[in-house]
Amino acid sequence: PRLANQIAAGEVVERPASVAKELVENALDADASRIDLDVEQGGARLIRVRDDGTGIPKDDLTLALNRHATSKIHNLDDLEAVSSLGFRGEALASISSVSRLNLTTRARGASEGWCAEAEGQDMQTALSPAPHPEGTTVEVRDLFFNTPARRKFLRTEKTEFNHIEENIRRQALSRFEVGFSLQHNQKAVHSLRPATSETDRERRVASLCGSRFMENAVHIDAEASGLRLWGWVALPTFSRSQADLQYFFVNRRPIRDRLVAHAVRQAYRDVLFNQRHPAFVLYLEVDPASVDVNVHPTKHEVRFRDGRLVHDFIFRTLHRALADVRP
Ligand code: ADP
Ligand code: MG
To test the ligand 1 pocket, which listed residue (19, 23, 26, 298) has its Cβ within 8 A of the most ligand atoms?
26
Q: Do the two domains 2-192 and 211-325 of this chain adopt the same fold?
A: no
93-102: average pLDDT: 92
Ligand 1 pocket, CB under 6 A: 22, 26-27, 30, 51, 53-56, 64, 88-93, 136
Q: How much is the mean pLDDT over the chain? A: 86
ipTM exceeding the 0.90 mark: yes
- Spell out the CATH class of 211-325: alpha beta
Element (H, E) at 281: strand 280-285
SS3 content of the chain, % helix, strand, coil (to 5): 40, 25, 35
- The Cα 69–Cα 26 span in angstroms is 19
Please tell me the CATH code under which domain 2-192 is placed.
Answer: 3.30.565.10
Residue spans of the domains in the chain: they are 2-192, 211-325
Q: How is 163-189 classified by DSSP, letter by letter?
A: HHHHHHHHHHHH-TTSEEEEEETTEEE
User: Which range, of 85-99, 101-115, 237-251, averages the lowest pLDDT?
Assistant: 85-99
Buried b (16+ CB within 10 A) or exposed e, 198-208: eeebbbbbbbb
Which phi-psi region, left, alpha or beta, contains residue 102 (left: φ > 0; alpha: ψ -120 to 50)? beta
To test the ligand 1 pocket, which listed residue (29, 85, 115) has its Cβ within 8 A of the most ligand atoms?
29
- The Cα 181–Cα 39 span in angstroms is 11
Question: Does the predicted model carry a pTM greater than 0.80?
Answer: yes
User: Which range, of 96-110, 128-142, 189-203, 236-250, averages the lowest pLDDT?
Assistant: 236-250
Q: Give the ligand whose atoms come closest to the C-alpha of residue 139.
A: 1
Q: How far is the CA of 61 from the centre of ligand 1 (A)?
A: 9
